[in-house]
Structure 1
Amino acid sequence: MNVAVLVFPGSNCDVDMYKAVLDTIEQPVEYVWHLESDLSKYDAILVPGGFSYGDYLRPGAVASLSPVMEEVKLASEAGKLILGVCNGFQILTEANLLPGALRRNQRLKFHCETVDLKVENNLTPFTLDYQEGETIRIPIAHGDGNYYCDPETLNQLEKNNQIVFRYKGTNPNGSISEIAGVINERGNVLGLMPHPERAVHKWLGTDDGKRMFSSIIRFWREQNGTV
């Protein structure tokens, strides 16, 4: 499986994402600059966290207009796996690849801590190795992680089982319905605010993020008959 880690001016979790791929699934992975115009060789595209373009206008707004995002949209239409984390989640919503929007945290403070998440949907390509309803611990680091959507969209997310992760116990940013991560209706584009790439070794405090990467390679192998 060929994996791309996108890099925008201001990305700061691209190295974490790159090393997480190597450390967990040991698949070919490359950095891809935001001006790239061809992603056809990649099976999975990872959009990392950071502060793309300094978060000017809105976090992810400028990055969503970068040339590479047109290729990401084509990859989405082709059914390829796309994972956006933190700023990557913001970019995917700004590019209309995921519903909703990320607003300023409710208390207008940057939150950097490890939080509990509830796995709401373990039937996605990104969550196959989790158990439905289990609690996992993943770090967050964001100032604009307050997920919001209108009531109609929320009803659709609930109906289609598109809410993949919810904050459990404490809602650090005020997200509607405690939402921490959502997937598109087709099921191949996931966005979440917590950082699974920072949770792949016990010595990091938790390795609960490791199973997101193992789920991706498991799904890809099953789809391609290489199990």
Structure 2
Amino acid sequence: MKFGVVVFPGSNCDADCLHAIKVVTGQPVEYIWHKSGSVDGFDCIVLPGGFSYGDYLRCGAVARFSPVMTPVIDFAQRGGLLLGICNGFQILTEAGLLPGALHRNKNLQFLCHDTHLRIENNQTPFTSLATAGQVIRVPIAHGEGNYYADTATIQQLEENKQVLFRYCDPQGEITPAANPNGSVNNIAGICNRQGNVLGMMPHPERCAEDILGNTNGQLIFQSLLQQWQRRCG
């Protein structure tokens, strides 16, 4: 399974993603420069975290118009697997591949610490190795992670089971205290209706190997690999 990690000016988690995929997961991966006009040959594309284009205007607002986003959008619309992490999630909403928007954190401060996530839907390529209700520990590092959408959109996301991750306490309870940034319904990650595009604020690539003290993030990468092997097998 070949992964591509898009590099925008200001990306700072691209190397982390490449390491988690290549060294830890053991899959081929290449960087994709933001000026590239093609994403041919890739089975899964990752939009990494960071501060693309300095977060000018809004987070992800300029990156959405990068040349590479034209083939990335086409790739996703044709059913290709697309993972947006942190700033990548912000870019996905700006590009219209996912609904809603990411606002400033409720305390207006940058947050960088571990969070607990409850997996709400394990019937996707990104969560297939999980059990519904499973709690994993994944770090966040963002200033604009407050997910918002209008009431009708939130209702659709909930009804269609597009909410994959919610901030929770270590026991899996969804509480206001467990919500680090003010996201509606404690939402930490959502997918599109087809299930092939995931946006999440927490960083699975930062908790993917023993040396980091936590391997929970491997669940996402290994789920993708398993689903791909089943598709090709």
> TM-score, normalized by length of structure 2?
0.95
For the residues of structure 2 that align with 1:24 and 1:212, how far apart are their CA atoms? 12
The equivalent residue for 2:34 is 34
- SS of 1:67's partner is coil
| Structure 2 residue 225 is the aligned partner of structure 1 residue 217 | yes
Q: Deviations over 1:156-203 (max 9, x none)?
A: 001100000000031000000000000000100000000000011133
CA RMSD in angstroms comes to 0.7
Percentage identity across aligned positions?
55
Q: Which amino acid aligns with 2:96?
A: N
The equivalent residue for 1:109 is 109
Structure 1: tracts of 5 or more residues without a match = none
**Aligned pairs for 1:88-127 within 5 A:** 88-127=88-127
For the residues of structure 2 that align with 1:6 and 1:24, how far apart are their CA atoms? 19
The equivalent residue for 1:175 is 183
For the residues of structure 1 that align with 2:210 and 2:82, how far apart are their CA atoms? 26
TM superposition shift of 1:211: 1.2
Q: Deviations over 1:96-150 (max 9, x none)?
A: 0001100000010000000111000111100111111011000000000000000
Contact 1:24 1:213 in 2 (8 A): no
Contact 2:24 2:209 in 1 (8 A): no
| Count of equivalent residues | 225
Q: Which amino acid aligns with 1:82?
A: L
> TM-score, normalized by length of structure 1?
0.98
| Structure 2 residue 134 is the aligned partner of structure 1 residue 134 | yes
- SS of 2:68's partner is helix
Q: Which moved more, 1:47-56 or 1:22-31?
A: 22-31
Structure 1 consecutive aligned stretches of length 4 or more whose deviation exceeds 4 Å = none
Q: Which moved more, 1:148-157 or 1:201-210?
A: 201-210
Q: Deviations over 1:28-74 (max 9, x none)?
A: 10001000001121110000000000000000000001010011111
The equivalent residue for 2:65 is 65
For the residues of structure 1 that align with 2:156 and 2:213, how far apart are their CA atoms? 35
For the residues of structure 1 that align with 2:24 and 2:229, how far apart are their CA atoms? 15
Q: Which moved more, 1:138-147 or 1:199-208?
A: 199-208
Structure 2: tracts of 5 or more residues without a match = 170-177
For the residues of structure 2 that align with 1:202 and 1:191, how far apart are their CA atoms? 25
TM superposition shift of 1:77: 1.4
Contact 1:13 1:49 in 2 (8 A): yes
TM superposition shift of 1:26: 1.2
Contact 1:24 1:214 in 2 (8 A): no
